Amino acid sequence: MKKDKTEINREKVLYSRDKINLPTSRRSFIKKGLWATLSGTIGSKFLLSPKIQAMMTSHTFADTPETKPLMAKHPGLTILNNRPWNAETPAHLLDDQITPADKLFVRCNGLVPKNVDANNWTLTIDGESVKNKKILTLKDLKSNFEHYTYQLTLECAGNGRNEFNPPAKGNQWTTGAVGCPKWTGVRLRDVLEYAGIKDDAVYIGYHSKDTHLSGDPNKDPISRGVPMSKALEDESLIAWAMNGEDLPLLNGYPLRLVFGGWPGSTSGKWLERIVIRNKVHDGTKMGGYSYRIPRYPVAPGTVVAKENMRIIESMPVKSLITYPRSGSIINKDEALIVRGHAWAGDREVASMHLSIDFGATWQDCALKSPLNRFAWQHFNIEITPKHKGYYEVWSRATDSKGVMQPVVLPGWNPKGYLNNACRRIALRVVDPKITTSPPPT
């Protein structure tokens, strides 16, 4: 998103030059807000430990064959794991209305394929409920089917996991495992119908060319899928391009599935096979606790029987503040435009509200319509803090069925999925007429 001169000048006095991760719990949130103030005061002389630097910048892993794919990504992404690769995008880097390829988060379950040969890549369509097994090359897909482009929101079901208590195992995502690029490819429906769908078909599953962490070629790192109703929607794509360019390797080059509004785990990368099933797909990470939540509310820390877990489908209503960056300094009595995105799985976002008084009152935001189904929506609002001090800006979205984001963490679940609590950022409001000296070093 382009910024005018006023906004650029404002950013010169913000803490946005400092790499600040968004906070989690209330205590952690305030603590990190104070850390932001400290680092902003000391500026570029504030030193981070090597370990923290390693987790904050992808450049730490540069100059090795294994990390070369990551070098195509923005250096500001936060590395959560390097075996397999997992990296999220800080909220302030998600300010673009259409997510650039280098800013889209990375979520891998296995090892990224090596020596990918797109010219000889094939996609097999088979399964119990296919009429005619088909093997298609990329050229076949591009030549024999109509192309479509949609802006589709992709989000990891575990986005926000680091706020759960008791903690849930897995990548400790904060808010950055989400993005909304434009995807180009062919409709999955057209390809499935070309092969022929039997009347007993209920589900599709995918298989990919990434390698299990054990190195065993007979094990899938992940093999998930969706019901036929989702597979046959207009916006369900077999995609080869993002924002008009080839997919990045870490995001599935040369071919992947994209199901907007559903967990990113359903959108298989490095796609080599689709199976049409006469039952719910039973591939790797379709059962047990993987991408499942309790069928009914449970107390934090409850041991839930596997038979009482259900598959996650449409993602919940959610929002993200992308400007200003958490930890910024602003002047009192000075107008500030707050902006961000909101999305709601299979639904649309109907309204957006913002609070700067810890939820005591809420203000209506301007909200744009989505570019197409399953695209996130952009909001903005002007605020003018009247008093100096510490502020939190909260965002709350309401979907087309009247369901709104909870103010606090939603129901606990064993794997830390579907955290859609109101998003918030910290601001320090100062009186520009009063100057203060930095603390002694």
Could you tell me whether strands 423-430 and 328-331 are parallel, antiparallel, or unpaired per DSSP bridges?
parallel
Same domain, 342 and 404: yes
Alpha-carbon distance of 265 to 250, in angstroms, equals 14
Residues 350-384: pLDDT tens digits?
999 999 999 999 999 999 999 999 999 999 999 99
State the pTM of this model: 0.87
List the helix and strand counts (H, then E) for the chain.
6, 26
CATH number at residue 377: 2.60.40.650
Mean pLDDT of the chain: 88
**Phi, psi angle pair for 230, to nearest 5°:** -75, -40
Residues 159-218: pLDDT tens digits?
999 999 999 999 999 999 999 999 999 999 999 999 999 999 999 999 999 999 999 999
- Which of 29-33, 70-74, 248-252 has the weakest average pLDDT? 29-33
Distances (CA, A) of 190 to 50, 145, 179, 187, 267: 51, 7, 26, 5, 17
Band of residue 64 on the pLDDT scale cut at 50, 70, 90:
low
**Quick check: helix, strand or coil at residue 318?**
strand
**Phi, psi angle pair for 317, to nearest 5°:** -65, 140
Distances (CA, A) of 418 to 35, 156, 264, 316: 28, 9, 12, 7
Predicted confidence at residue 71, as pLDDT, reads: 85
Predicted confidence at residue 436, as pLDDT, reads: 58
Tell how far CA 19 is from the center of its chain.
19
**Quick check: helix, strand or coil at residue 38?**
helix
Residue 361 maps to a domain: yes
CATH number at residue 220: 3.90.420.10
Last residue of a domain, one of 311, 336, 352: 311
**Quick check: helix, strand or coil at residue 186?**
strand
Last residue of a domain, one of 283, 311, 339: 311
Same domain, 200 and 282: yes
Residues 315-324: pLDDT tens digits?
999 999 999 9
Same domain, 391 and 286: no
**Quick check: helix, strand or coil at residue 179?**
strand
Last residue of a domain, one of 251, 284, 311: 311
Classify residue 40 as left (phi > 0), alpha (psi -120 to 50) or beta.
alpha
Same domain, 268 and 325: no
Alpha-carbon distance of 288 to 283, in angstroms, equals 11
Residue 125 maps to a domain: yes
Q: Using CA atoms of 232, 238, 242, 243 in order, give the dihedral in degrees to the nearest 10.
A: -50
Q: Are 211 and 64 in contact (CB under 8 A)?
A: no
Burial of residue 166, with CB atoms counted within 10 A of its CB: 0-12 exposed, 13-18 middle, 19 or more buried: exposed
- Which of 153-157, 329-333, 431-435 has the weakest average pLDDT? 431-435
Q: Using CA atoms of 272, 278, 279, 281 in order, give the dihedral in degrees to the nearest 10.
A: 0
How many domains, the chain?
A: 2
Determine the length of the chain: 441
Same domain, 252 and 131: yes
Question: Quick one: which H or E segment has residue 294?
Answer: strand 292-294
Predicted confidence at residue 67, as pLDDT, reads: 74
Alpha-carbon distance of 186 to 314, in angstroms, equals 22
Residue 276 maps to a domain: yes
Residues 390-432: pLDDT tens digits?
999 999 999 999 999 999 999 999 999 999 999 999 999 999 8
Same domain, 365 and 411: yes
For CA atoms 399, 302, 88, 253, the dihedral sign is: negative
Predicted confidence at residue 69, as pLDDT, reads: 78
Band of residue 7 on the pLDDT scale cut at 50, 70, 90:
low
Q: Does the pLDDT value for residue 435 go beyond 80?
A: no
Q: Are 279 and 203 in contact (CB under 8 A)?
A: yes
Question: Quick one: which H or E segment has residue 55?
Answer: helix 50-56
Q: Does the pLDDT value for residue 46 go beyond 70?
A: no
Structural domain harbouring 215? 107-311
Same domain, 384 and 277: no
As given in the structure block, the two tokens for residue 339 are 């902006």
Closest CA relative to residue 197, chosen from 238, 224, 227: 227
Q: Does the pLDDT value for residue 5 go beyond 80?
A: no
Q: Are 398 and 285 in contact (CB under 8 A)?
A: no
